[in-house]
Chains A and B, each alone.
Chain A
């Protein structure tokens, strides 16, 4: 029961939880969101490029990633990344990759599939007159994308992209399966060391809950502010 609830366990673990655990989680979230957005936009451009083969490859990648559970993808990349590194660098043995790099690559590749669908919807929501006007002005394809289409698509989709980033923030907790000390991993380590599962897991849940709530409230506010009046 809650009678023996020990707040001191949490207090003592705070520096470790936040300075190590939460720092890992947030860095991973931000970098993965950024990388996922870059790759996702490229994939979306491939799918909309009009080149059959390019579109096919991108489509297969997206469907493939989206039909696998994240846990399995994490395992896949954890074992694959050293071999991919070997192949890329031409080393004689699989290279050693740190926990952070491995999970960052995993999340970038996985989230790219989801971000690409959002960006694709964003690009398709731009009216046809925009690229038409751009090419009438003599802009090349890359100029059209850079100065006309992508900025608008990005702005239209910003709330959705941020919501997906909140999902990503929650999903990073799954690196637990590799025993990496992200926020949840750190909490779980302390929980098992001190035999204080109830305190640590409730506290971890509360922290995730508060951060996600505040973030999604922020997204809702932002959505109301940046909505373009049409």
Chain B
């Protein structure tokens, strides 16, 4: 301590929150896209894998999942790998990003599946009639439409991702809530500490919502209710 004000600490916490949330969101989108697509494929195996994945990540509290990644996984790996994992610098950050990311990916998958199945059947049929392969059909026809349709629910999932990073306080990640908590412990200024954190969360929320609203308007599909 000694250098910097409490505001600096809180802002540092905010930066950690944002960094963790963005990395987690990238993971959530990537895995969620794959699993969401799997669930819409005609193959029984694919949709079972998708179903199992979603159930696995949705039916355990996030806190428990983080504990599994942080405390249990290194013990289950071969000794050398486990040791390497435990000694990883910044382990809480990586664990939090991956843990929250995978947790949210199940939710993204469900949204994407709903988006894809909301498309009229003609889209798929037209793509097949044009001779597109399955990969091309998803890449050029279904996914661009589905992602634009589910943008509003995705916005709230992103907000959830930001909020969920605070659970990582339990594995020692000093993000915004964690900084407010330690500021309160050092200074005994309970209300000031938590008010500051609250204001920062509200601001972050506001920024994300505003930015997403612009994005929504930009990518709105012409001819749909939300479109131009």
Contact = CB atoms under 8 A, between A and B. Distances in A.
**Contact residues of B: prevailing secondary structure:** helix
A136 interface: no
B78 A71 contact: no
B205 A67 contact: yes
B85 interface: no
B163 A173 contact: no
Contacts of A14: none
Nearest to A214: B59
A72 B166 contact: yes
A75 interface: yes
A170 B66 CA distance: 13
B198 interface: yes
Given A69-B177, A213-B55, A201 B72 contact: yes
11 contacts: A1-B75, A69-B163, A69-B166, A71-B166, A72-B166, A72-B197, A79-B191, A170-B60, A171-B61, A198-B71, A209-B59
Nearest to A199: B72
Contact of B163 (A68, A170, A184): A68
B194 A79 contact: yes
A212 to B, nearest CB: 4
A216 interface: yes
A72 B71 contact: no
Contacts of A173: 61, 63-64
A75 B167 contact: no
A205 B68 contact: yes
B170 interface: yes
Contacts of B56: 209
Interface string B51-73: 00001101111111101100110
A216 B63 CA distance: 19
Interface residues of A, number: 31
Contact of B177 (A64, A71, A209, A212): A71
Interface in B168-194: 169-170, 177, 180-181, 184, 190-191, 194
Interface of A: 1-2, 64, 67-72, 75-76, 79, 170-171, 173-174, 176-177, 184, 188, 197-198, 201-202, 204-205, 208-209, 212-213, 216
B163 A201 contact: no
Contact of A72 (B65, B190, B198): B198
A171 B164 CA distance: 11
Contacts of B71: 197-198, 201
Nearest to A2: B76
B142 interface: no
B63 A79 contact: no
Q: Which of B67, B164, B165, B190 has the most CB of A within 10 A?
A: B67
A201 B181 CA distance: 25
